[in-house]
Structure 1
Amino acid sequence: MTASLGAVVLGTPDPRGLAAFYAGLLGWRVVSADPDWVRLADPERERPGLSFQREPDDVAPTWPAHEGGVQMQAHLDVLVDDLDAEEARATALGAVVEAHQPAPGVRVMRDPHGHLFCLFQPGS
């Protein structure tokens, strides 16, 4: 049997709302949705996808990490051609730029529900 990544799943109190944010950011489409689960896919291929699962008590991680904070388990890296333009577009969709930025060519941001993601340019 061959294994391959089917999707990344993010927990959120509002699956439809967070899916709308990432659909706008990535240009992906909703392929299945109900109140507790939404799945997005790239228009060019079905998998891997990005899914959102209802987790009413989801707590956003601390950034940068520090003792006693909620530790980040994972984050999404989003490849972009124009970092400044995509940062502006992401903030218009509801994202927030983090104060701590670890490296040039990368922009650490939070989606509207507090999940961390990075915009980055090729070679960064």
Structure 2
Amino acid sequence: MPTLGSFVLGTPDPPALAAFYRELLGWVTVEGADDPTFLRLRSPERERPSLSFQLEPGHVAPTWPPVEGEQRMHAHLDLLVAPDSLGAEVARAEGIGAVREDHQPAEGVVVMRDPHGHLFCLFVPGA
């Protein structure tokens, strides 16, 4: 049976977006440090799953919340945080370039955008 190896984000600037997630997650670059078209990050503790960044010059960020006729979200990252650190992690993400969305769907979940417009959620267990 297959297992998840990597989640890949298309972006017009793979090194810049990898730098954002490297800082946000505390992960390390394991592939592509000398290739501006594809980079892969992983946790310092394990090889997989990983997060990769692939050159996509025509990337269009999705509309949130969804609007008929606009670019739709195909996927997003859910990033688990400790229950008592949600506010601090939101502030830390904003400090490195993330933007908090106005529309928030639930308690204990904060929808954000990375610097290239990909949506991700910071959430606490049980949310």
TM-score (norm 2): 0.95
> What is the alpha-carbon distance in structure 2 between the residues aligned to residue 103 and residue 3 of structure 1?
32
TM-score (norm 1): 0.98
> What is the alpha-carbon distance in structure 2 between the residues aligned to residue 113 and residue 35 of structure 1?
16
Q: Runs of 4 or more off by more than 3 Å in structure 1?
A: none
Map of 2:111 onto structure 1: 108
**Per-residue deviation, 1:3:** 1.5
Map of 2:28 onto structure 1: 29
Q: Report the secondary structure of 2:20's partner residue.
A: helix
Q: Report the secondary structure of 2:64's partner residue.
A: coil
Map of 1:4 onto structure 2: 3
Deviations 1:23-58 (A, max 9, x none): 111110000111100000000000010000000000
Question: Which 5+ residue runs of structure 1 have no aligned equivalent?
Answer: none
Q: Report the secondary structure of 2:41's partner residue.
A: strand
**Per-residue deviation, 1:86:** 0.2
Give the RMSD, CA atoms, in angstroms.
0.6
Aligned pair count?
123
Residue correspondence of structure 1 range 1-124 to structure 2 within 5 A: 2-33=1-32, 34-81=35-82, 82-124=85-127
